[in-house]
Copies of this chain bind each other. A is one copy, B any other.
C-alpha cells in the first residue's frame, strides 16, 4: 500500500468549467498505484469539482446556464455581499456541487466511463489561480 500526492494549479478566466481529467490521470500514472482510489480535492469555497459529460460542449453550456438560474445573484436576503454580486452565489454553487471527487483506480488507471470528465467549476468572474490536491491511495 502506498500514498502519492501532488498539487495541481488551475488558472481560470471567469465562470465556467475547466477540464482537469488528463492532469489527474497523469498523477495516477506517476503514482504507479494500480488499484485503489484517487481523491481530487479543491482548496477553495468559490469554485468546486464536478464529473460531467465531456464530449459535447453544449452539455456544459446548458449546465452553466442552469446554475446561473438556480442560484441568482442579488437576492434581497443576501448579507454576504462585500466581495461582489458573484460572491455569495459562488459559495452556494460550491455547496450544491463538490469540494472532492473520488474515482476508482483499477488496472493502473482511473475507471472513468466513456463520457466522464473531471472539471473544475469556477464560480467567480475574475481570473483565479486554483489549487487542487490529488491524492492516490492503493497498492
Contacts and interface: CB of A to CB of B under 8 A. Distances in A.
27 contacts: A1-B3, A3-B138, A5-B35, A35-B135, A36-B135, A36-B137, A37-B39, A37-B137, A41-B104, A41-B111, A42-B113, A44-B113, A44-B115, A50-B95, A51-B94, A51-B95, A52-B94, A62-B75, A62-B78, A62-B91, A63-B91, A65-B77, A95-B97, A96-B96, A96-B97, A100-B101, A100-B102
Most buried by B among A1, A37, A56, A58: A37
A133 B116 contact: no
A92 B69 CA distance: 13
Interface residues of A, number: 60
Interface string A86-119: 0010011011111111111110000111111000
A133 B115 contact: no
